[in-house]
């Protein structure tokens, strides 16, 4: 794992930029903006993907597989925290003395001349960022943006705009969200996560305090999340707009109906505004309220802002339907924290009707699995009817002895509601054996669990025959 050097002095001219892992949703978006800015972009990734093909079409030279020769004549390197230090491209760049930038540093370099809206929080960042971008476009603005997922209506996760506004999903996982010269800070929540990096809840919260305190224009922050409320109480001299269902929220969500696509009202500045979203879930009504708070805080008309935000149709890997076989619908969701899993499955419950929810959970990170195994088990048992637990996706971490998906499944109160099946084909076949007409199968995780979806659909098809 490579941790960003937050003290690195970034050159004014980065020249030809080489991206290691260019196909990822965040990296590909940043690479696209470097191309838009006139840079020669090269890169590498472990596999072909839609992002790789799209960047090649824009002129990027991209190799499949990691090798030192891929760096070519690059002047600088951009990496992610998931990269290992023995990566041959990273090693060669260090030997040559090239600037090696974490992706957040590359993004900070891009946004330095813009008015930045930065969205942070343990959950809801991608959706909230997408809602802000959709809202701004809907009222006639043209912001630049980089999101953590593809915005469905736009077909991209990043684009260059003509306005001074730049909207980014800011990553708190390694502290890199503190790099930005933020104008408007949106904090969706401060639910404990990434303790492998921060070491303690106090350090995690302190980073959010610093992030919000650094905002030069104003702060939008949850009124409902305990961690966010604690952060709010520690801010000094800031213009603050709170949002949520709390009675004292500046933007207060009320009159919510969650049966199907969620509808609700928001109270702001003595007036009420009502809307219905195109996506389900109580959490998405609250996300929309946060986006609304950003837009009205920027001075845009409230009714038009809420109407524009409500056109948001979702992002890739957020409760995304991939197919229906024999009446069984297969969805994929990025949820990888107990709170996110609860929100995703609660949203599914509002639209599944008489059907059951079958969760396919891929634990992400050994440290998170060890720390939150009980919380994952309790959440999955509460919100899903049946759960299949896969093996742990380690990402940037080395395996830990005794930490497997079984750590989650063994903590279920009723073992008949869960199965630990680390082999993917066996897992897909098992799901097909228990699924019936009207059920929702939902894959959960921010690793590569989405790759099991074709196997699930195939097994359901085979079971039908």
| Tens digit of each residue's pLDDT (9 = 90 or more) over 258-283 | 887 899 999 999 999 999 998 888 88
pLDDT at 182: 96
Phi/psi-derived region of residue 80, left when phi > 0, alpha when psi is between -120 and 50, beta in every other case: beta
pLDDT at 198: 63
Per-residue pLDDT tens over the stretch 359-391: 999 999 899 899 899 999 999 999 999 999 999
Catalytic residue among 42, 126, 127, 242: 126
**Binning pLDDT at 50, 70 and 90, where does residue 55 land?**
very high
Per-residue pLDDT tens over the stretch 284-343: 999 999 999 999 999 999 999 999 999 998 877 777 888 999 899 999 998 888 988 998
Catalytic annotation on 169? yes
Is the confidence at residue 26, as pLDDT, over 90?
Answer: no
What is the distance between the alpha carbons of residues 368 and 337, in angstroms, rounded to a whole number?
Answer: 8
What is the distance between the alpha carbons of residues 405 and 365, in angstroms, rounded to a whole number?
Answer: 11
Is the confidence at residue 199, as pLDDT, over 80?
Answer: no
Q: Is 142 helix (H, G, I), strand (E, B) or coil?
A: coil
As a whole number, mean pLDDT of residues 158-184 equals: 89
pLDDT at 375: 95
Nearest to 408 by CA among 390, 424, 393, 396: 390
Pairing of strands 328-333, 320-325: antiparallel
pLDDT at 294: 98
Catalytic annotation on 113? no
CA–CA distance from 197 to each of 36, 180, 340, 435 (Å)? 33, 19, 20, 39
Percent of the chain residues topping a pLDDT of 90: 69
* 16 against 396, higher pLDDT: 16
Nearest to 111 by CA among 169, 175, 40, 25: 169
Per-residue pLDDT tens over the stretch 422-435: 999 999 999 999 99
Catalytic residue among 42, 129, 169, 232: 169
Catalytic annotation on 126? yes
What is the distance between the alpha carbons of residues 227 and 71, in angstroms, rounded to a whole number?
Answer: 43
Residue 122 tokens read as 């343990």
Highest mean pLDDT among 158-167, 195-204, 287-296: 287-296
Residue 255 tokens read as 């009159």
**Binning pLDDT at 50, 70 and 90, where does residue 194 land?**
low
**373: part of which helix (H) or strand (E)?**
helix 366-383
pLDDT at 2: 66
Pairing of strands 144-151, 76-79: unpaired
Is the confidence at residue 195, as pLDDT, over 60?
Answer: no
pTM here?
0.76
Kindly list the structural domains of the chain, giving each domain's residue range(s) and its CATH number in brackets, ordered by start.
Answer: 17-101 (3.40.50.720), 113-309 (3.40.1190.10), 320-464 (3.90.190.20)
What is the distance between the alpha carbons of residues 370 and 363, in angstroms, rounded to a whole number?
Answer: 10
pLDDT at 388: 97
Percent of the chain residues topping a pLDDT of 70: 97
Is the confidence at residue 410, as pLDDT, over 90?
Answer: yes
pLDDT at 79: 92
pLDDT at 8: 75
pLDDT at 316: 74
Catalytic residue among 42, 80, 89, 125: 125
């Amino acid at each position: 794992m490579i941790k960003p050097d937050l003290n690195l002095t970034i050159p004014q001219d980065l020249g030809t930029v080489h991206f290691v892992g260019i196909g990822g949703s965040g990296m590909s978006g940043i690479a696209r903006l470097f191309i838009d800015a006139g840079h020669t972009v090269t890169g590498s990734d472990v596999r072909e993907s839609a992002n790789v093909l799209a960047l090649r079409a824009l002129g990027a030279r991209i190799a499949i597989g990691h090798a030192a020769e891929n760096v070519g004549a690059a002047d600088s390197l951009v990496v992610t925290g998931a990269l290992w230090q023995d990566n041959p491209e990273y090693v060669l760049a260090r030997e040559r003395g090239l600037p090696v930038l974490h992706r957040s540093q590359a993004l900070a370099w891009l946004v330095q001349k813009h008015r930045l809206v930065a969205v942070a929080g343990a959950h809801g960042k991608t959706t909230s960022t997408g809602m802000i971008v959709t809202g701004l476009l809907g009222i006639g603005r043209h912001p630049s943006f980089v999101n953590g997922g593809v915005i469905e209506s736009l077909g991209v996760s990043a684009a260059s705009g003509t306005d001074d506004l730049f909207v980014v999903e800011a990553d708190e996982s390694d502290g890199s969200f503190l790099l930005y010269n933020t104008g408007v800070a949106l904090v969706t929540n401060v639910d404990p996560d990434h303790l492998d990096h921060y070491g303690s809840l106090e350090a995690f919260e302190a980073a959010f305090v610093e992030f919000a305190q650094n905002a030069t224009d104003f702060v939008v922050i949850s009124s409902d999340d305990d961690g966010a409320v604690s952060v709010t109480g520690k801010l000094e001299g800031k213009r603050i707009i709170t949002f949520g269902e709390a009675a004292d929220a500046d933007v207060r969500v009320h009159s919510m109906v969650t049966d199907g696509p969620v509808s609700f009202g928001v109270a702001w500045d003595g007036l009420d505004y009502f809307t219905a979203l195109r996506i389900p879930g109580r959490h998405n009504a609250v996300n929309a309220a946060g986006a609304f708070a950003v837009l009205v805080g920027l001075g845009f008309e409230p009714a038009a802002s809420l109407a524009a935000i409500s056109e948001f149709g979702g992002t890739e890997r957020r409760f995304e339907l991939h197919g229906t076989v024999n009446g069984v619908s297969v969805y994929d969701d990025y949820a990888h924290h107990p709170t996110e899993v609860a929100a995703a499955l609660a949203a599914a419950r509002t639209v599944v009707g008489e059907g059951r929810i079958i969760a396919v959970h891929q634990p992400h990170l050994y440290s998170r699995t060890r720390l939150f195994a009980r919380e994952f088990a309790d959440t999955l048992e509460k919100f899903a009817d049946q759960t299949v637990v896969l093996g742990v996706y380690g990402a940037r971490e080395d395996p830990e002895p005794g930490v497997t998906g079984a750590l989650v499944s063994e903590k279920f109160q009723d073992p008949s509601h869960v199965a630990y099946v680390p082999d993917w084909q066996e897992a897909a076949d098992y799901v097909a054996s228990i699924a019936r007409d009207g059920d929702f199968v939902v894959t959960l995780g921010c690793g590569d669990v989405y790759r099991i979806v074709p196997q699930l659909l195939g097994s359901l098809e085979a079971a039908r025959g």
